[in-house]
């Protein structure tokens, strides 16, 4: 009987500790017109919002690609859908940088927002993907490219401008083939006029080393619970600043 009471007391204390922990104040970061603000909320609300977005990503990725069989078809469908669905940043509206899911909800975004959504959805169909800026060799301006891991290697997409690359045999061009200029640019029908050599100043002999790109955790693959837990553990032990989440 005494042991039973001790178990009940332990469960009750555990319940009280859980309530206290879930009501702990935490912060999230939100960028508006390039100014970052910290928003305070209870932990339970942050967790609920995180899982809500996680299941919405899974649902959205399935809605877009569920009828397709091959990984390449699914990635190309996500690429077309992102470019067609998310409109360019209107000059009259604020530039937002918060949750990736918010890009889909509001239906518009800056270039990094569009790459953010595309690379995140690629991860939700089981394909490693991320995006990164590439700078001209001469310095100055940069562009963003999303990289997606295929069986043949990493391939590049620009969902913002509706551009991707195929090699001279018609397959999606890998980074090595792009470096060697064994590729040609493919434009979606509604994409405006972009010179053929526009990307060359950024990508030819200028792409990240294959053994480095996509390594570790990044914003696109930490929207799922397991990877987010890994990211948080790494941040706690390395004092790394959190992503905008």
pLDDT along the chain (245 residues), means of 10: 71 75 83 86 89 95 94 96 95 88 94 95 93 80 90 93 92 89 82 73 70 62 75 66 46
Pairing mode, strands 108-109 and 87-88: parallel
How far is Cα 105 from Cα 202, in angstroms, rounded to an integer? Answer: 31
In a domain, 98, yes or no: yes
Check residue 244 and give its pLDDT. 41
Tokens found for residue 118: 């595309």
Residue 224: CA atoms inside 13 Å, Cβ hemisphere, count? 15
Report how many domains make up the chain. 1
Sheet strands (E) in 85-128 = 87-88, 96-97, 108-109
Residue 95 maps to a domain: yes
pLDDT reported for residue 211: 57
Domain with residue 185: its CATH number is 3.10.620
Q: Are 212 and 235 in contact (CB under 8 A)?
A: no
3-state secondary structure of 107: coil
Taking residue 33's Cβ as centre, other Cβ atoms within 10 Å add up to 9
Query: What local confidence, expressed as pLDDT, does residue 242 receive?
Result: 46
pLDDT at 191: 58
The residue range of the domain holding 212 is 63-238
- Is residue 9 situated within a structural domain? no
| Whole-angstrom distance, CA of residue 48 vs CA of residue 83 | 29
What is the pLDDT at residue 13?
74
Structure tokens at 39: 């928003």
Q: Does residue 51 belong to any structural domain of this protein? A: no
The pTM score is 0.85
In a domain? residue 36: no
Give domain status of residue 69, yes or no: yes
Instruction: Note whether residue 93 is domain-resident.
Output: yes
Residue 187 belongs to a domain: yes
């Amino acid at each position: 009987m005494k042991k039973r009471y001790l178990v009940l007391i332990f469960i009750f204390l555990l319940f009280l500790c859980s309530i206290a922990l879930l009501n702990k104040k935490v912060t999230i970061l939100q960028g508006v017109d390039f100014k970052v603000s910290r928003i305070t909320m209870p932990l339970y609300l942050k967790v609920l919002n995180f899982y809500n977005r996680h299941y919405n990503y899974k649902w959205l990725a399935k809605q877009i690609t569920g009828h397709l069989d091959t990984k390449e078809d699914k990635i190309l469908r996500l690429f077309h859908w992102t470019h067609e669905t998310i409109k360019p940043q209107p000059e009259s509206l604020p530039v937002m940088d918060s949750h990736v899911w918010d890009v889909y909800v509001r239906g518009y975004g800056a270039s990094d927002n569009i790459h953010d959504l595309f690379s995140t959805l690629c991860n939700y169909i089981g394909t490693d993907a991320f995006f990164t800026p590439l700078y001209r060799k001469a310095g100055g301006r940069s562009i963003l490219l999303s990289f997606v891991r295929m069986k043949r290697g990493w391939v590049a997409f620009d969902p913002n401008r509706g551009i991707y690359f195929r090699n001279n045999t018609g397959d999606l061009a890998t980074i090595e083939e792009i470096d060697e200029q064994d590729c040609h640019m493919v434009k979606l029908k509604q994409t405006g006029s972009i010179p053929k050599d526009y990307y060359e100043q950024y990508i030819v002999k200028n792409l990240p080393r294959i053994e480095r790109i996509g390594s570790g955790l990044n914003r696109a693959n930490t929207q799922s619970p397991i990877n987010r837990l890994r990211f948080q553990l790494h941040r706690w032990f390395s004092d790394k600043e959190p992503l905008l989440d």
